[in-house]
Structure 1
Amino acid sequence: MLLSNIALFQQIVEKGSLAAAGREAGLSSTSVSERLAALEAHYGVVLLNRTTRSISLTEEGRTLLEGGKRVLGEIEDLESRIRFGAETLSGPIRISAPSDIGRTVVAEETNRFLAAHPAITVELLLSDGYVDVVGQGFDLAVRFGSITDSSLRIRSLGLKRRVVCAAPAYLASHGTPQKPDDLHGHNCLLMRFGGNLDNLWRFGPDQQPQFVTVRGNRVANDGALVRQWCLAGYGIMLKSELDVGADLQRGKLVELLAEHAQPATPVQMLFPPGRAQPRRVRALADRLALALQGNEHSSGLAGQT
């Protein structure tokens, strides 16, 4: 019963409420509340701070979430090996990825992985904003840029450039910028990351950076939508080469201001803290790393693990 209550606790955190967890598990809100109370009584601590509108983890709750996920994952692996043999992978994997490469690279590799391992289920959530890997119950997350949470386990996937680009149709109608300041006269397609608008574009090396504040008539918090706008000829965008490498190779987009490019930024795979990782997660992570580092979907830069 303890393990099932820990699993239910994880569902409460992932779904954001007792009622949502109950619907997912087929339990009444009263039953969920009673089992959470039993779990808190077992450990003698409060695991969740609850109000009428929201829940949040206490420090003890965060510790149980991290450790419980690890323990339950190991038990699932053990059951899989006993029931189906050592080579069979089974169980759930929860992934977070940016919207653009999530729809392409991650989704395509996941499809191939599931075809090879039909006993696995995958939940893929796409977001270009901040995600709480532990609090939202992810087994792995793919993210661009530096990571500030030092508690997470990080697997480097190398460095990728951010590319300023536009469709040939846009350039034919509006001209091609020759220097970063020329962007003031162009329609730039902007990303919003959480509360932050990505309208301060950086150019040049670390020793001599140049910043240009750009403007445009389209803003989205979805990188795939910004890319779609760019391909349609609505403006200029700044995007990772992982997202636009194939478009550049096929001539659907044209790279701009390459001689003013900023230094490449890291691409990383994040995992919850802990020493043990379920075999199914390791296997999918290895597959994703090869795809994200290779040249099948991108412009050909190789990284390292």
Structure 2
Amino acid sequence: MGDLQPPDHMDAVKLEQDGDLNLHYRKELLLGNLKHHDEFDSLSNNADNDISKLKQVFFLADINNDSYVDAEELNKWIVGKVQGHLKDSDEGNEEIFNHLDTDHDGNVTWTEFNIHFLLAKGYSLEKAVRLSSSSRGGVDDDKESLIRYRFRWVDADEEGEFGALNLRELINFRHPEQSPLMIQKMALDLLEKFDMDEDGVITEYEFVNPTYRFQPEELDEETKKQRSLEFKNSIDQNRDGVVNLEELKLYVDPRNLNRILSETQNLILMSDEDGDGRLSLAEVLENSELFLGSKMIDASRNFHDEF
């Protein structure tokens, strides 16, 4: 049985739901969900093994075996990783739905999910049933997760209520990155968080300086610089100085092939030190932090840890 818990983020996206940049974004694009792919040796999670995985990615992406990875090869690799993840997350949804739908009425209630969530945490059936029917819904260690999931449950309900979910809605809940409805809601949430003057668009200043909405502390200058570059180079696609809802939807959609192509071009532009339009292994390793993210040491966080 697959993991019943929904991921904390939409996979391989640059912007987290709280408005922070996903610093593991490129690592997720390049390595994918390593738990569900067999291209890699079995390696423990540490910085040296991240480099080993990056080397393996290079040779796997080098389709013509010329010891270089060009834009077309890199783009094919990244698109394959994204599509592979979407395929993996598709598999088992119906099985999980039937497992949760204990009364076989074609819907899964929050109580049914809550009970199975607690069973998966190791509670006895008797205690899981008792806790799920209480106002707390769980014990203190799980309370924060369950509260977050309750909000996600309402978002996944296409009626906008805290009702039972059908199969399509349960997929909304467990895999929001595959749901146009959830992508729309996420884009709307981000617009609301950043749009200080409520004019329906986000300016660079609003994106770079989010303290007025939800950021408890002033961002450091390096973070502001990263956010400014991300706004100019990736989010503001028509380069008019503001970002509207449609641009946000494209930005957060992991299936957006144009965004992947843009990322491929940026990676090569920033790493191609001899300017020949392709990457050698030496160039990739020289820029390993660019490919693996600025927090590459923290390798225990995988595809589902950011959002």
The TM-score bracket by the shorter chain reads under 0.3
Going by fraction, where is strand more abundant, 1 or 2?
Answer: 1
Going by fraction, where is helix more abundant, 1 or 2?
Answer: 2
Tell me which structure has the larger Cα radius of gyration.
Answer: 1
